[in-house]
Structure 1
Amino acid sequence: MTQTGKITTCVFDAYGTLFDVSAAARRAAEAPGQATLAEVWPALSADWRRKQLEYSWLRAVTGDHCSFWQVTQDGLDWAMDRHGLRDAELRETLLGLYWELSAYPEVPKLLATLKAQGLNCAILSNGSPDMLDGAVSSAGLESYLDAVLSVEDVGVFKPARAVYDLVGTRFGTEPGEILFVSSNGWDAGSAAAYGFTTAWVNRAGEPMDRLPGRPQYVLSDLTTIPELL
């Protein structure tokens, strides 16, 4: 794929792209006394993530914005209810672990390589600033990032165009100078329609979303990002 301009800035979605959103449920299930959770944690984690995203989209459509932390809690409550897990202590454990999500193994080396190539690196996320600060700090990524951009600055969740505008406002760039990377097909497609060069990290091998924009690159993980540049 031939790029239309020189890429100066790599922007990453956070949850599911840099940070493993399944880590909270997986770690909780590994604790002693969690036999019930151990049997259902993959489905619980998938339901939690799905409802978290669905609630963000619905709130964007209706204009009922709230923090991403609120939709994270609401999504967990729905998922726990679906799986019959009525345990307040487990709920608090899962929510606490969400602030300490591990980064995917390739992330630190990737970001270090991009910085060595002279690129700006940033996060653009639905996450609230305090959630993102916690995740970045827990994963030790602070030194690699030039900016951590949150939708809270515009009061609407992705894929609203106002969110993607935050990149140009922060870096003084045109859309064609940005490589945007997301594990969410709808996010990568929407960012492509906005004008970014986009890479979809399709870890699960899912079909392409039927949206006006299509990502220019489809990857199985983040390791080959430097080769695109």
Structure 2
Amino acid sequence: MPLATRPRAVVLDVNETLSDLAPLGPAFEEEGAPAHLAPLWFASVLRDGFGLSLAGAPRPFVEVAAGALRPLLAAAGVEDLDGAGQRVLDALGTLPVRADVPEGLQALAAAGLRVVTLTNGAVATTDALLRRGAARPHVDLLLSVEDAGAWKPDRRAYEHAARATRLAPQDLLLVAVHPWDVDGAARAGLRTAWLDRAGTPYPSHATLPDLVARDLLDLAGQLA
């Protein structure tokens, strides 16, 4: 259903929401590991990152990614763990944006909304991703949980976005493909939009989003 009032800024998740992880499968295959390890690796990174954050010891995304990668490659029979691991990590740093991202971000900005990103990764990685996709000019502010002291979905990450934008949480619309991100943002007082890129049911245990959109262009149309 439409929002009662328009948000003043959209806060976009980055990994999978803006970036396309599909090239990671071939990157694993080039090292002699099955492509299906790519989504398992990403899920493992989130699991371990969340766990460390919950324990009060958050670590940078790339550090967790490297640590979670070695056991998977070893179990797949890869012998050159250092070399293979670095090449897969390099592939992570060269991912493309999803097809709708450049035009979608432009449409959101043209609608008068501040466009902000909030990632569990590094600001430099987000900046490089958006520049590769010719989408950087449409984004006003790049944020990372590294400056919040906790990974999303900890409320401190979303409070960091509110402080950085100098806006109240209810003036922010968190946009993500991950229900756990939507749920965390809602509990921190933000309004939320779920990008249902895969056409899958929303999990019943998570807080429902305020908006559901197929992609960023659909979302921009709903907010216009």
Q: What TM-score, normalized to structure 2?
A: 0.89
Matched, 1:172 2:166: yes
Q: CA deviation at 1:68?
A: 0.8
Residue matched to 1:79: 72
Once the two structures are superposed, what CA deviation does each residue of 1:133-185 show, in whole Å capped at 9, x if it has no partner?
A: 33233333221111111011122111111110122212221222222111111
Separation in 1 of the partners of 2:79 and 2:13? 32
Amino acid of the residue matched to residue 78 of structure 1?
Answer: P
Partner of 1:68: 61
Gaps of 5+ in 1: none
1:114–1:226 contact (8 Å) kept in structure 2:
yes
RMSD (Å), alpha carbons = 2.0
| 3-state DSSP of counterpart to 2:216 | coil
Match status 1:12 vs 2:9 = no
Q: Is 1:95 equivalent to 2:94 in the alignment?
A: no
1:167-208: CA deviation from partner (whole Å, max 9, x where unpaired): 221222122222211111110122122222211123334443
SS in 2 for 1:215: coil
The offset of 1:35, in angstroms, is 8.3
Alignment partner, residue 21 of structure 2: 21
SS of the residue corresponding to residue 94 of structure 2 reads: coil
Conserved? CA contact 1:189–1:209, under 8 Å: no
2:164 corresponds to 1:150: no
Query: CA 1:77–1:35 in structure 2 vs 1: closer, same or farther (change >3 Å)?
Result: closer
Q: Which runs of 5+ in 2 are unaligned?
A: none
Structure 2 residue identity aligned to 1:171 = T
How far apart are residue 28 of structure 1 and its match? 6.2
Q: Which residue number in structure 2 is paired with residue 127 of structure 1?
A: 121
Q: How many positions carry a matched residue from both structures?
A: 222
CA pair 185-130 structure 1, distance change in 2 beyond 3 A:
same
Write the letter of the residue equivalent to 1:61.
L
Matched, 1:186 2:180: yes
Aligned amino acid, residue 76 of structure 2: H
Identity in percent: 27
TM-score with structure 1 setting the length = 0.87
Task: Tell me, in whole angstroms, the C-alpha distance in 2 between the residues paired with 1:173 and 1:124.
Answer: 15
In the TM superposition, what is the alpha-carbon distance from 1:72 to its structure 2 partner? 1.4
Aligned to 2:133: 139
| CA contact 1:69–1:131 (8 Å) conserved in 2 | no
Q: 3-state DSSP class of the match of 2:96?
A: coil
